């Protein structure tokens, strides 16, 4: 998950040993200077994680305000990442078409959408988990610059996150899907507008068609297989079977067409 590090330089000549890589605070400062955007992304993700912890464990500050700070810090991360991926703005249809293919654009839309709605815990889950994954990855890079090998505790926690990357991505995908029925319930309680599900459907369609992250698409497929297996059991009532199969068919018709890989 972490970025690959440069191999240590090797001396020429027979029997030469590899030189030690320079480490320390000066190396860290140089790295930060040369990688301002990456370091900025690391900092905004740290803010997202901190605000999320404050929201779930409200020891300091108002949880209501911290909830919206989670979304605002994620919007800042997404905008910065989008600038990194598409630095040159072009007022053309092709440019905006490519822009909407970027995962960072998807989550910028996500954050802006839910900044206008009432708080719901599940909404911050994908945001916080993505921040945790990328924060852990870049933290290893910064620790390598410092050479703090003795910080085994931090490295151990990061390795746990790294080991659980696939499960975390699956949980993110499941959360993205689960937000849609939650939005429908929020409409009846007056916490969301009738337009919210349509806007979120656009986000979910973008996630489904994502080129770099197939986990949402895979999770839809797994949920479909599981529900079909459940309702096709002989003991399942027929009216339940018909209702579930019709719902699956309706959702499948809403899925965007995935272009073949070029």
Contact 110, 30 (CB under 8 A): no
pLDDT at res. 148: 60
pLDDT at res. 7: 36
Q: How large is the average pLDDT for residues 20-40? A: 77
pLDDT at res. 12: 40
Whether the predicted pLDDT of 59 surpasses 70: yes
CA atoms within 13 A on the CB side of 177: 18
Residue 199's contacts (CB-CB under 8 Å, 6 or more residues apart) are 113
To the question of pTM greater than 0.85 for the whole model, the response is no
**Lowest-pLDDT choice from 38-42, 118-122, 157-161, 188-192:** 157-161
87 versus 132: the higher-pLDDT residue is 132
The model's pLDDT over 7-26, given as tens digits with 9 standing for 90+, comes to 333 334 444 444 456 666 77
| Bridge partners, residue 10, by sequence | 18
- Classified as helix, coil or strand, 22 is coil
The model's pLDDT over 94-141, given as tens digits with 9 standing for 90+, comes to 767 776 777 888 999 999 999 989 889 999 999 999 999 999 888 887
pLDDT at res. 258: 73
Q: How confident is the model at residue 223 (pLDDT cuts 50, 70, 90)?
A: very high
Residue ranges of the domains in the chain? 25-254
Whether the predicted pLDDT of 71 surpasses 60: yes
- Classified as helix, coil or strand, 18 is strand
Q: How large is the average pLDDT for residues 232-250? A: 90
pLDDT at res. 22: 67
Q: How confident is the model at residue 259 (pLDDT cuts 50, 70, 90)?
A: low
- Classified as helix, coil or strand, 77 is helix
């Amino acid at each position: 998950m972490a970025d690959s590090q440069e191999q240590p330089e090797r001396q020429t000549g027979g029997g030469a040993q590899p030189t030690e890589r320079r480490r320390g605070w000066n190396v860290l400062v140089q790295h930060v200077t040369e990688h301002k955007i990456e370091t900025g992304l690391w900092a905004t993700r740290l803010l997202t994680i901190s605000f999320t912890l404050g929201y779930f464990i409200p020891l300091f500050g108002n949880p209501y305000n911290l909830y919206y700070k989670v979304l605002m810090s994620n919007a800042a991360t997404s905008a910065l990442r989008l600038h990194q991926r598409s630095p040159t703005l072009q007022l053309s249809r092709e440019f905006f078409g490519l822009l909407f293919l970027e995962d960072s654009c998807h989550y910028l839309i996500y954050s802006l959408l839910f900044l206008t709605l009432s708080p719901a815990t599940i909404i911050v889950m994908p945001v916080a988990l993505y921040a945790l994954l990328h924060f852990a990855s870049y933290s290893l890079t910064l620790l390598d610059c410092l050479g703090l090998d003795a910080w085994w505790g931090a490295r151990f926690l990061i390795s746990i996150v790294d080991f659980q990357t696939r499960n975390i991505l699956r949980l993110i995908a499941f959360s993205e899907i689960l937000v849609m029925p939650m939005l429908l319930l929020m409409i009846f309680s007056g916490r969301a507008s009738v337009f919210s599900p349509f806007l979120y459907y656009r986000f979910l369609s973008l996630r489904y068609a994502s080129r770099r992250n197939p986990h949402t698409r895979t999770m839809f497929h797994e949920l479909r297989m599981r529900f079909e297996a459940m309702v096709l059991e002989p003991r399942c009532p027929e009216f339940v079977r018909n209702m579930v199969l019709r719902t699956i068919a309706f959702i499948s018709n809403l899925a965007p067409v995935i272009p073949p890989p070029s």
